[in-house]
Amino acid sequence: MIKKEAIRRRSRARTKVGALFAAMALLADLFCLSGCGGEKRELTILAAASLTDVCGELKTEYETSHPGVTLQFSYGASGALQSQIEEGAPADVFFSAGTKQMDALKEEGLMDTDSVVELLENTIVLVVPADREGGPASFEDAAAEGVSMVALGEPESVPAGQYAREVFESLGIWQQVEAKANYGSDVRTVLSWVETGAADCGVVYATDAYTSDGVKIVAEAPEGSHSPVIYPVGVVKAGAHTEDAEEFVRYLEGDEAMRLFERFGFTRAALSENETR
């Protein structure tokens, strides 16, 4: 009888302990819901293709320090992304590889103008396949008879293509280059054509060339031969998460994010150092 009573006491004790743990788990869930704001907010960021690698790491770092937010990146040519915003595609932030596209959206009233900042600069370079010897060694060489195909971004929609055309026009050889140009839908497509040897040379950003073992840089664009390669970023007015988008843009301006950008070959845009918002 004493043994049975002891068993019952232990059973009641286990029941109380189990109830206590269940209550603690419920409190933890409630705390998470209140502290984390319930379900995570997903920010949709339309970003230039040349930002693919660095933004992959930015996503990891930002989501770690902001557990209530998930970053969803969509990459492409800046002109194509501009068109998506104009057509009403869901977007919270636009991160362009050129000011032309951002300026157009601002004029159309589709961007929060006060949020837009000219954040980064890049360099335009001529690349050739890494295993090829005796090919073009300068931008001028792209017009040489021995070059049969030059890979470029589409100048109207791909900022890298716009800058490339400016360089060749400044050198007075655009017509010769245009005759043998093959246009890619974004700068990563241009890079892939040179990597595979489909093109004799191509014009990309230095940051893209740094990511590839399949190409080598043979020349930087001559100084003053093109407009500055500026990457602006800003909040899309029609976005669903304005406050989170504004906070993310502020994060991109900060030292932590800038150190990551610089590790991938970008530099802080000179204009952004003196901007006040």
Which ranges of the chain would DSSP assign to H, the alpha helix?
2-35, 52-65, 78-86, 99-107, 159-170, 174-178, 187-195, 206-210, 242-253, 255-263
- In the predicted structure, residue 112 carries a pLDDT above the cut 80: yes
What integer is the mean pLDDT of 189-217?
Answer: 96
pLDDT band at 11 (very low <50, low <70, confident <90, very high): very low
Query: Residue 210 carries which side chain, given as an amino acid letter?
Result: Y
Query: Which of the four pLDDT bands, split at 50, 70 and 90, describes residue 271?
Result: low
- pLDDT at position 24 is 44
Looking at the DSSP bridge assignments, the partners of residue 235 are 93
Predicted local distance difference test score (pLDDT) of residue 6: 42
Rounded CA-CA distance 51/233 in Å is 12
Q: What is the pLDDT of residues 133-181, one digit of tens each?
A: 888 999 999 999 999 999 999 999 999 999 999 999 999 999 999 999 9
**Domains of the chain: which residue ranges?**
41-121+231-274, 124-220
Give the rounded percent of residues in the chain with a pLDDT score beyond 70: 84
Mean pLDDT confidence for 260-272: 88
Percent of the chain residues topping a pLDDT of 90: 81
Cα dihedral across residues 182, 265, 225, 147: positive or negative: negative
pLDDT of residue 55: 96
Q: Can you give the pLDDT at residue 30? A: 39
The residues that bridge with 41 in the sheet, in sequence order, are 69
Confidence label for 275 from pLDDT (cuts 50, 70 and 90): very low
pLDDT at residue 233, as a whole number: 98
Cα gap 262→267, rounded to integer Å:
6
Q: Is 199 left (phi over 0), alpha (psi -120 to 50) or beta?
A: beta
Does 269 have pLDDT greater than 70?
Answer: yes
For residue 166, give both structure tokens. Answer: 């400016």
Q: Name the more confident of 89 and 17.
A: 89
| Per-residue confidence band for 38, with pLDDT thresholds at 50, 70 and 90 | low
pLDDT tens digits, 213-262: 999 999 999 999 999 999 999 999 999 999 999 999 999 999 999 999 99
pLDDT at 210 over 60: yes
Q: Do domains 41-121+231-274 and 124-220 have the same CATH topology?
A: yes
pTM across the whole model: 0.80
CATH 3.40.190.10 for the 41-121+231-274 domain, yes or no: yes
- Judged against a pLDDT cut of 60, whether residue 13 lies above it is answered with no
Position 121 pLDDT exceeds 60: yes
User: How high is the pLDDT of residue 270?
Assistant: 82
Could you confirm whether domain 124-220 is CATH 3.40.190.10? Answer: yes
